[in-house]
Each structure stands twice: as structure tokens, then as C-alpha cells.
Amino acid sequence: MKKIIVITLAISALATMAFKSATTKLVSNNAHINFFSHTALEDISSNNYKVVSTLDQPTGDVVFSVPMQSFEFEKALMQKHFNSKDFLDTKKYPKAKYIGKISNLSDINFAKDGTYKANATGELTIKDVTKPVTATGSITVLNGKITLNSKMNLTLADYNITFSKGKPSTNVAKEVTITTEAVYLPQ
């Protein structure tokens, strides 16, 4: 009797797990993150096209995994600085991660074509430092394809990224803007 209960429970657990991953989670291997820093002296922009993201429609859970060495800058020297120990130390911390939740999920109808305003609250981890962040943006539904666009501001000092001397201290903004676009398809 006990065995039957255990087996039944195991099967139902497996079934719900299989059902969950098969139907609700959308995956994006086609995303873009832009990092923009503005100072009176210089505008610095960097792009990353190797971001992986998931979006769980019923819960509004959003995850982004960001390979840090994929950020490309116009100037090679800037890219070297970005990766170096003094800045993002990408050899030691190759990925950054965002885990968040859409806070106005009821406003979004994933089944109907349209563009919906979306807000998200979550946590961003860079160099093992996790801080709360909020993002604003939109979700566009078109023929089953779901596109997320969002924007958030980051204070670099929150992640222990500080410059005390030299060109970076004057030419890199204390607060930078992160713009994200992700196109999701069913897994």
C-alpha cells in the first residue's frame, strides 16, 4: 500500500514537472543588452548579443544570464579595461545574472497581440554582489512571438566598481543605463 502511494506521488510529481517545463517557460537565445555611460567628456556604449533569458508566463518570473566577456566596445583598450581585475574581473566572474518578476502581470495578455507596459522588480548579481533593481519596459506579443524591452539604471559603486584615478574616473559615469531586448520562443 505504502509503495503504491509513493509511486503515485512520484508519478504525479514527475508529471507536473514535465507539464510545467513543457508549456509555460519561454526561452530566449536571441537577446541584446546595451550598456551606456554618459559624461560631458565621453559617451561609452557597449553591446552584448550572447545573453540567455527565460520568461515564465504564469508567474512572471524573468531570468537573464549574461556572459560578461561578450560585451563589445568600439575601442579595444576600453574592452580590456572592462574585463580587467580593476573593473569587472570577467575571468573570475564570467557571468552576471538578473532574477526578477513582472510586477503588473495582470495587465499583460500573452495570448493576445499587442504591446503591454511591464514593470519588474528583481535582483542583479555582478561580481558576486547582489542588489535589488527595478526595470521598466514593455512586452510585445505578435503571432505567438513575445518580445521584452526594458531599461534600468545601475550605480556602479553598488557593485564595488569604482575608479579613483585616471581617465576612467572622469570619463565613466557613476550611473549607467542598461537597455535590454529579448525575443522569446516556446522551449
Partner 1 sequence: MKKTVKRNLIIVFAIIILGTIAIVFYLFNMPHRDVQATKTDFSLSSSSVVAEYLANAEAANQKYLEEEGNSKILAITGNVYSISEDLKNQKVVLLKDSTDKAGVSCTFTSETNAHASQLAIGQKVTIKGVIRAGAGYDADLDLYENVIMEKCDIINNN
Asked if 24 interacts with partner 1 (CB under 8 A), we say no
- Choices 45-53, 104-112, 132-140, 150-158; region in contact with partner 1 by CB under 8 A: 45-53
Asked if 85 interacts with partner 1 (CB under 8 A), we say yes
Asked if 23 interacts with partner 1 (CB under 8 A), we say no
Which helix (H) or strand (E) segment holds residue 178: the answer is strand 175-186
Smallest separation, CB 6 to partner 1 (Å): 25
DSSP label at residue 5: H
Residues 98-127 that bind partner 1 (CB under 8 A): 99
Q: Is 49 helix (H, G, I), strand (E, B) or coil?
A: coil
Is 89 or 158 the residue whose CB approaches partner 1 more closely? 89
* Residues 126, 159 contacting (CB under 8 angstroms): yes
Contact with partner 1 (CB under 8 A) among 83, 138, 177, 179: 83
Longest dimension (CA), the chain: 76
**Spatial separation of the C-alpha atoms in residues 35 and 176, rounded to whole Å:** 7
Asked if 30 interacts with partner 1 (CB under 8 A), we say yes
Bridge partners of 31?
182
